[in-house]
Amino acid sequence: METATAEWTGPAETRRRSRGRTAGAWLAGLMLAAVSVAAGCRAADTDAVTPVPQLLAFLPWLLAPAAFALLLAVLTRWRTGMVWGVLALGALAWYTEPYGKTDEPTGTPLAEFRVLTSNVEFGRGTTSLVPTIRRERPDIVFVEECEYHCSATLESAFGGPHGTYPYRGAVDGAGSDGSVILSRFPLKAAPGVRGTMGMPGAVADVHGHPVRLQLAHPMPPLPGQLSLWRHELGELRAYAAAGGDAPTVLAGDFNASQDHAAFRRILDTGLRDSAGLADDARTPSWPADTAPPFGTQIDHVLVSRDFSANSAHFLGIADTDHRALIVDITLHQRK
């Protein structure tokens, strides 16, 4: 009886194990396929189509499914999957390195100042941003999604000829359309970059040195709107490229990370990411509810090669889905 039972259950157990290995191998293959598409597009320097841009925003976190898929391949003894998993992990690890030049200028320091950028999500984070500005004391402030009430609140708190920030450039608008630049330094009006949402520009007189300022807030890469997202990032790239040798600060919510080809095109003009210069290139800024443990860095302060970055840190702002970024930068005499 015992022998007969063993003979009857043995093949069934084998079939179950075989089905389990097959299912595990299929799951590993599907995960590796998704990861490989994202890694392949990153290698090909393209953002492709939905859902690739959305996946690229979280490229470093794709290491987790790639590692899990490799583990499944090992457990199911799928040799092709093992090799595939190792290659996928290697590619992802390679592309988690910061993109763009990180060398520092060597010219004589001319001026040091602090820059803050914050997306206050339809103005909701304004109440929390005001005390943050007072505490951190930035010299130039870029505020995205600063609608009418936000703009009025900032003017009341900091504006006026005797206020902390007597100079400002703004695009007034409701919801996400409004944006504001506040400055301790005198500002000269300059045409901003045109976009769906407001992106004001100006030229600051930083202790006698003109510095181009431009707020960035292109449309996000929503399904069905990728062409608009690419176009507006392209407009920011054109602004960066038109600067020539002029010191430039381009800051705001770019709705793009260094893993997006459209954002790397901006860096390819010669601008550098100040967070990367300060060894903080991968700290997430969005979504605030899960950052810093999980998220992506889409809020940036980009600077021309005239600048070095002394520090960069991200701060939580209540009632907004973005963390604020504060950087201390130094303008150098270009050789």
Give the CA diameter of the chain: 99
Domain limits, the chain: 2-95, 109-332
- Between CA 136 and CA 253 the distance in angstroms is 19
Residues 6+ apart with CB under 8 A from 177: 147, 171, 196, 197, 198
Residue 113, pLDDT score:
98
Residues 6+ apart with CB under 8 A from 103: none
Strand 109-119 and strand 140-144: the pairing is: parallel
- The correct answer on CATH 3.60.10.10 for the domain covering 109-332 is yes
Residue 246, pLDDT score:
96
The pTM for the full model equals 0.92
Query: 96 and 60 in contact (C-beta within 8 Å)?
Result: yes
Residue 21, pLDDT score:
83
Residues of the chain falling short of pLDDT 70:
1-17
Residue 11, pLDDT score:
67
Residue 105, pLDDT score:
87
Residue 102, pLDDT score:
80
- Which whole-number Å values give the CA distances from 191 to 170, 198, 239, 242, in the listed order? 11, 12, 10, 13
φ, ψ for residue 8 (rounded to 5)?
-80, -40
Residue 278, pLDDT score:
94
- Between CA 136 and CA 313 the distance in angstroms is 11
Residue 335, pLDDT score:
73
Rounded to the nearest 10 degrees, the angle between the axes of helix 79-95 and helix 63-75 is 160
Q: What is the 3 state secondary structure string of the chain?
A: CHHHHHHHHHHHHHHHHHHHHHHHHHHHHHHHHHHHHHHHHHHCCCCCCCCHHHHHCCHHHHHHHHHHHHHHHHHCCCHHHHHHHHHHHHHHHHHCCCCCCCCCCCCCEEEEEEEEEEECCCCCCHHHHHHHHHHHCCCEEEEECCCHHHHHHHHHHHCCCCCCCCEEEEECCCCCCCEEEEECCCEEEECCCCCCCCCCEEEEEECCEEEEEEEECCCCCCCCCHHHHHHHHHHHHHHHHCCCCCCEEEEEECCCCCCCHHHHHHHCCCCEEHHHHCCCCCCCCECCCCCCCCCECCEEEEECCCEEEEEEEEECCCCCCCCEEEEEEEEECCC
Nearest alpha carbon to residue 119 among 147, 151, 143: 143
Nearest alpha carbon to residue 83 among 22, 21, 29, 38: 29
φ, ψ for residue 329 (rounded to 5)?
-125, 155
Rounded to the nearest 10 degrees, the angle between the axes of helix 148-158 and helix 126-136 is 30
